[in-house]
Structure 1
Amino acid sequence: MARNKYSEPDYWSKKAFSENYPARSVYKLEEMNKKFNLFSPGDKVLDLGAAPGSWTVYVLRFLNKEGRVTAVDLKPLDSSVYDERLSFFQGDMFDKGIIKSVKELGPYDAVICDAAPATTGNKTVDTARSSGLVELAIYYAQEQLKQGGSFVVKIFQGGDQQIHLNNLRKCFKTARAFKPEACRSSSFETYLIGLDFKG
C-alpha cells in the first residue's frame, strides 16, 4: 500500500504536538502575526474554516481576557478546544444563517481564514474551489471588519491569486501574498494578506 506522502510527522507536526496544538498549521499564523501584527491582545477575531482549531487556540492564547474569537467550520473543533471567550458555529460558511450569527458578534479587528476545499487531485478543480473560498472570506472581511482591521486567507497558487490581490488592494491600504516557512515545500498553497482595512 502506498504511504501518504505526509504520513511521517515533520518538524512542525512534532512541535505542534509538543505544544498542544491540534495541527501544524498554527506556525503559519504565528509567523504571519509576528511579521504583520494581524491582531492585538484585546481584539475580536473571526476564524473561518477553523477546524481542527490550531489557529483558534493560537489566537486565544495570544488574546487577553477582553479578547474574543468567533470560529466557523463544517467540522467540529478538536475536543480540547474550549474557552469562554470562544463562540463556535458548526456549519457552512456560505449559509445565510451562519453569516447572520457571525455578524451579530462583530465587527471584528481581524478576519483569518485557513479554509481549504476538499481536494480532488485535479489542480484546475482544486484551485477553482480554493478561489471560491477566498472570494467568500473577502466578502466576510468587507462586511464585518472594523476600519483598520487585518485579513489573511489561504489560497492555492494558480487560483485567481492576482485578481483577489487586486480586489484586496481596493479595500486595504496594504495587500500582498506571503508563503510562511511552515508551508510544506511541495504544497502549492500560499496566503493573501490585507492590512489596514479602509472601511
Structure 2
Amino acid sequence: MASNSYEKPDFWSQKAFSEGYPARSVYKLKEIDEKFHILKKSSTVLDLGAAPGSWTVFLLRNLSAEGKVVSCDLNPLSKDVKGDNLVFIQGDLTDNAVRESIKNEGPFDLVVCDAAPKTTGNRIVDTARSQGLVKMAIYYAQTMLKKGGCFAVKVFQNGDQQGLLKMMREIFVTAKGFKPVACRAESFETYLIGIDKKNDI
C-alpha cells in the first residue's frame, strides 16, 4: 500500500525546518513575492490566519525596522515566532472587536491570508468553506489596504474562482490566480493575487 506523503516530511518541509520556519507554507509566499513583488521593505503587513507563523517569520525577516507585521489567528503562533515589529492578535477574524483591533494597527500596504478551513474530506463542503474565508480576506483587503496595496489569499480550486477574481478586479488593477511550485502535487489549493489597489480607504 502506498504511504501517504503527508506522513513524512517532504523536501519543502525539511527545508523549512532547517531554515527555522514552522511550516513548509513559507515557500509559497516566497514564490509569490518573487513573481509579483508584493512586499516592500518598509511595508505594514496584515497576515490573516497566521498560525503557526511561517508567513509571519518570512515577513519579519524581509522587512526593515520601519516595517511591521500584524498577525491574527484563532490559535497562538509558535513560541519562537517573535519580533519587535510584530503585533499578534488572537481571535476570530469575523469578530467585531478583533476587526477593530486590526484596523487600529493599519492601514496596510499588504494583506496576506494562508488560512484554510477545517477540512471534512467532503470536497464540496471544504471548497465552500474556503470560499467564505477568501471573501472575508477580500473584505479586509478592501477596507484596510492603502491605495496601491497588494493582496494574496489561498483558495481551494473548483469553487467559484472566477467569481472571486471578478470581485478582486473591482478592487485591484490586476487580479489573477497562481499556483506555487511548493504546493503539494495532490493539493487542490491555489492562490489569488491582487496587485495595485485602486482606491484609498
Q: Fold match, TM over 0.5?
A: yes
What residue number does 1:16 align with? 16
Letter in 1 for 2:110: A
SS of aligned partner of 2:143: helix
What residue number does 1:155 align with? 155
Give the distance between the partners of 1:72 and 1:4, measured in 2 at CA: 31
C-alpha deviations, 1:136-175, integer Å up to 9, x for none? 0000000000000000000000122111000101110000
What residue number does 2:165 align with? 165
Aligned-residue offset at 1:31 = 0.5
Which blocks of at least 5 consecutive residues in structure 1 are unaligned? none
1:114-153 → structure 2 map (5 Å cutoff): 114-153=114-153
What residue number does 1:85 align with? 85
Aligned-residue offset at 1:5 = 3.7
SS of aligned partner of 1:174: strand
Aligned-residue offset at 1:39 = 1.4
Aligned-residue offset at 1:84 = 1.2
C-alpha deviations, 1:166-191, integer Å up to 9, x for none? 01011100000000000000000000
SS of aligned partner of 2:81: coil
Give the distance between the partners of 1:197 and 1:145, measured in 2 at CA: 7
Give the distance between the partners of 1:48 and 1:21, measured in 2 at CA: 17
Give the distance between the partners of 2:3 and 2:83, measured in 1 at CA: 36
Give the distance between the partners of 1:191 and 1:82, measured in 2 at CA: 26
Letter in 1 for 2:6: Y
Letter in 2 for 1:155: V
Give the distance between the partners of 1:4 and 1:56, measured in 2 at CA: 28
How many residue pairs end up in the alignment?
199
SS of aligned partner of 2:166: helix
Letter in 2 for 1:73: D
Identity over aligned residues, as a percent?
60
Give the distance between the partners of 1:159 and 1:62, measured in 2 at CA: 33
Give the distance between the partners of 1:55 and 1:18, measured in 2 at CA: 16
SS of aligned partner of 2:80: coil
1:1-199 → structure 2 map (5 Å cutoff): 4-199=4-199
Q: CA RMSD in A?
A: 1.2
SS of aligned partner of 1:128: helix
Give the distance between the partners of 1:74 and 1:159, measured in 2 at CA: 25
Letter in 2 for 1:21: Y
TM-score (norm: length of structure 1): 0.98
Give the distance between the partners of 1:5 and 1:96, measured in 2 at CA: 39
Which blocks of at least 5 consecutive residues in structure 2 are unaligned? none
Aligned-residue offset at 1:4 = 4.9
Give the distance between the partners of 1:90 and 1:3, measured in 2 at CA: 36
